[in-house]
Structure 1
């Protein structure tokens, strides 16, 4: 071709139709100019030195081709790029995974969920709108038909077609293991809406680059099998397509975009992979047996071959279905899986599928949980069920919320009132629960809150909470095993995050680290000790036992919200002869139900004493308490139930 022809503007061109694809535009233009599509593409500079039409041009045109193309076709640069899928890159992030300039038939674009070389189509749309130009050349081959997530035409209320009903082949299936922008582009005389597949291609032999071709008019075929669904099933799919179309057309930085808008398609595609590898665990995600049967027929061959050969790859999981009906049913299941963004609801729905996926292929399940771009909620719901897993812990710390409370504001032992309020549901489901489980839950909840605040490991959190690091590691191991066996670890994390939300919403949070620092060497004065026993004559024997240590430990625990056994006094006598007796005595006073007797009155006085002492810590005042005020207040407020003044 002479250089003068290559750079000369076309005498006649066309105005692109709304959302028209580049191959569709070239087909209409070549038919109007009565030249083969390859000849037109060469004039526009779209071919390679091997006279091929790169499939990658469907995604976007290189910058150095845009202006020449625009000049020769009498278009603007914006109109030129609008012929490519680049327009959807901001709303459909899967397109960003395509490597620029790829020409490989088996590259990511041909097997993944980003784009397909073969266009689906709606016959009524191809017939056009009745205008003279569309009556002659047909309607637009729409760009979105190359996206695997587009499976229906909401305008004509039907599923799209994906193959020619005459030759039963996809419209742009690879030749010689290569994909191109247009099938057999050197053949001229074909209408833009005619099938360009070779007629009766010999199996295994190279398909000739020139005729004969199928030539069937795709716009003349209303439907050869269109919908296998009931009207109700079809309406469910059309509703889903409307929601997907709405997200595809969402303006960049739209004020109407939801917080999860930018992760929706990432989550949707990842959910299809989770459903496929764990099938039929997700059978319930589809509302009818017809929809489930469509997905089952698609997945069954893959699962059969995978179960027979455990060493087989699972590349088929990442492949998008070619059939629009299958795509619609699979995407409907995925949408039903991820639509509710509530963390606990999502975890309950994803958990069984994730567990089955880990059972079948732990390496691939881990990859799914770490797919780039998916939402934090979905990643955490997909994470391993074993809380002692190193990958789980890294993931949970990586995906933590941006809480405003700090680790200094986390109590080292979850307050009993918090525990009773939030953990009732979990306790009801935990088999054979004992007081040791409650103690472990309170320890674990404190470490998990600290982890959310700091992103540190439980061992490091223990140090920050004034506890030995081994206690944190041991709590995670023991609690992990206990809750994992009962399938309650997701519920535990959900409950702690509810507590974290409540703590985050508090305006005047307590600095427990400061309280622990101020109380580090504190001991109840002898005068205060004796005064608190005033008029409690039945406790004279108790007054001579383990005092002042047991009273100091109880008050320390109330002020710092720490576990009594972790107080400096308890640690100091550990492994001595006094340990057992002191532990027993503390157990009788710390959070026991003391009834109405004098032990109960002493416990009330200690709680009130701790209230004033905590106030002195928070205000950085001297750690002294007016015991006369404590006794007067205890007498005035004496009731059958002990107060919990520290919350």
Structure 2
């Protein structure tokens, strides 16, 4: 029989169930896992992320009984209170039924970690049980704290693990996303709960509410983008939001945001040059890197960046595109930079079905997004991602030694590798097809086929194509730093 605790804590506005369990467990001197057992939320050692999304009536009743709360207060601990205005937490999203595991791995529903504001944790430290982890910090489009006018943090300053995350196990395999990481640990709610090894390894324990290095101040563009996205996610489903000059439902607006964010991240920093986004983020060239390789964030390749600064750059650019007087032309130009063979193309085709009429009209015109090509097809075709940032006339046919460091790490034919990298740099800086880029460098029609054949043969060996995919970007970054 479920019995009430001798004492409890009052829920804070905007608090999610995992943060509440931390506070209450700390107040009564127990572990969150023990409290979850008492509420019949688990029979093992894991707490399912489904409780982050919604509770059944029976689960809400049990939590209410044990924690001395009204069932309505228990339901308020979930993200379901934002549905149907915030469509990603619905049972059906983008036309597909989704489980809580799908949600946890998607990256656009909620994050597998939690961003946080150290100042907010400090401000609420006086509450019974400790500070409050706000629900908005788990939403992928939340990257700043409007109350303290600062970008959120996301890593523990001591161990560098993402906050409120299981991170990776000692064997480097993905750990399942949990409602509360390390639920058997008795720690202060503001302490980092990450442990790099097994269950016997002590947790990091660093206090996240202590002073952290100063983060960059959000620009006016960042603040406007954050306000726009937060308002759309919290609005009623029948409220209209402007997208590319047309009023649409908030759900459709968020679908547009997801699609355009994919386009911007796939074409960065060309999108930066076309739209001139927020100053501090210009020219970073790495806006989309964490979104695809960082398992702390999500397994979905189009998940937004984990780093709040990169997320601010991305979403500020997306909102600026929405507000651009010729948004259709700009979006079409960016789409033309995405190669036909890019892995982002299938995702674009799936997302288009759920977007606004204005965005669908742009994406449906295949003539606008078809990329011209000449010569033998390349592995990983090179998009023009460095327009206005890299001067094609400054790129030599034979790359200088100070540029070639990233290439020297690859076991490829050195002369062919450097010649191919030079061709790709011109493509990145100008948008020319491969033959025209080679002609610009003075590489004749007799040399280009042999170079292409050598590089294609090398790239077809296991692991080589993937290793070479990022090398031209690193060479471009060096060229820009050296004043190309």
The TM-score bracket by the shorter chain reads: 0.5 to 0.7
Which sections of structure 2, spanning at least 5 residues, go unmatched? 170-174, 294-298, 371-484
Q: Residues 73, 275 of structure 1: CA spacing in aligned structure 2 closer, same or farther, 3 A cutoff?
A: same
Count of residues in correspondence between the two structures: 349
Deviation at 1:118, TM superposition (A): 0.8
What is the distance in 1 between the residues matched to 2:320 and 2:255? 15
Alpha carbons 2:50, 2:100 under 8 Å: kept: yes
Q: Residues 388, 15 of structure 1: CA spacing in aligned structure 2 closer, same or farther, 3 A cutoff?
A: closer
What is the distance in 2 between the residues matched to 1:152 and 1:388? 34
1:332 aligns with 2:312: no
What is the distance in 1 between the residues matched to 2:115 and 2:34? 25
Alpha carbons 2:119, 2:209 under 8 Å: kept: yes
- 2:280 pairs, out of 282, 290, 300, with 290
- 1:247 pairs, out of 227, 232, 243, with 232
> Quick check: which has more Rg, 1 or 2?
1
What is the distance in 1 between the residues matched to 2:9 and 2:97? 30
Match in the other structure for 1:173 = 166
1:274 aligns with 2:263: yes
1:381 aligns with 2:371: no
Superposed CA deviations along residues 258-311 of structure 1, whole A, max 9, x for unmatched, are 5343321111111111112233331222435531234x123368999xxxxxxx
Alpha carbons 1:346, 1:381 under 8 Å: kept: no
Match in the other structure for 2:133 = 141
1:16 aligns with 2:11: yes
Alpha carbons 1:44, 1:69 under 8 Å: kept: yes
- 1:50 pairs, out of 27, 44, 47, with 44
What is the distance in 2 between the residues matched to 1:262 and 1:280? 28
Superposed CA deviations along residues 590-643 of structure 1, whole A, max 9, x for unmatched, are xxxxxxxxxxxxxxxxxxxxxxxxxxxxxxxxxxxxxxxxxxxxxxxxxxxxxx
Match in the other structure for 1:511 = none
Alpha carbons 2:141, 2:311 under 8 Å: kept: yes
Alpha carbons 1:53, 1:181 under 8 Å: kept: yes
RMSD of aligned C-alpha atoms?
A: 2.9
Deviation at 1:334, TM superposition (A): 1.2
Match in the other structure for 1:219 = 209
Deviation at 1:161, TM superposition (A): 0.5
What is the distance in 2 between the residues matched to 1:219 and 1:302? 26
State how 1:532-611 maps to structure 2 within 5 Å. none
Calculate the TM-score normalised by the size of structure 1: 0.50
Deviation at 1:373, TM superposition (A): 2.4
Higher relative contact order (CA 8 A, sep 6+): 2
Q: Residues 301, 220 of structure 1: CA spacing in aligned structure 2 closer, same or farther, 3 A cutoff?
A: closer
Alpha carbons 2:256, 2:355 under 8 Å: kept: yes
Alpha carbons 2:241, 2:250 under 8 Å: kept: no
Which sections of structure 1, spanning at least 5 residues, go unmatched? 202-206, 305-314, 390-647
1:151 aligns with 2:140: no
Alpha carbons 1:271, 1:338 under 8 Å: kept: no
Q: Residues 337, 193 of structure 1: CA spacing in aligned structure 2 closer, same or farther, 3 A cutoff?
A: same
What is the distance in 2 between the residues matched to 1:128 and 1:301? 31
Deviation at 1:362, TM superposition (A): 6.6
- 1:191 pairs, out of 172, 188, 200, with 188
What is the distance in 1 between the residues matched to 2:331 and 2:64? 48
Q: Residues 90, 102 of structure 1: CA spacing in aligned structure 2 closer, same or farther, 3 A cutoff?
A: closer
What is the distance in 1 between the residues matched to 2:140 and 2:82? 13
1:234 aligns with 2:224: no
Between structures 1 and 2, the one with greater helix share:
1
Match in the other structure for 2:455 = none
Secondary structure in structure 1 of the residue aligned to 2:155? coil
What is the distance in 2 between the residues matched to 1:388 and 1:282? 15
Alpha carbons 2:159, 2:204 under 8 Å: kept: yes
What is the distance in 2 between the residues matched to 1:289 and 1:243? 19
Deviation at 1:115, TM superposition (A): 0.6
Q: Residues 388, 186 of structure 1: CA spacing in aligned structure 2 closer, same or farther, 3 A cutoff?
A: closer
- 2:345 pairs, out of 357, 361, 365, with 365
Secondary structure in structure 2 of the residue aligned to 1:348? helix
Alpha carbons 1:164, 1:195 under 8 Å: kept: yes
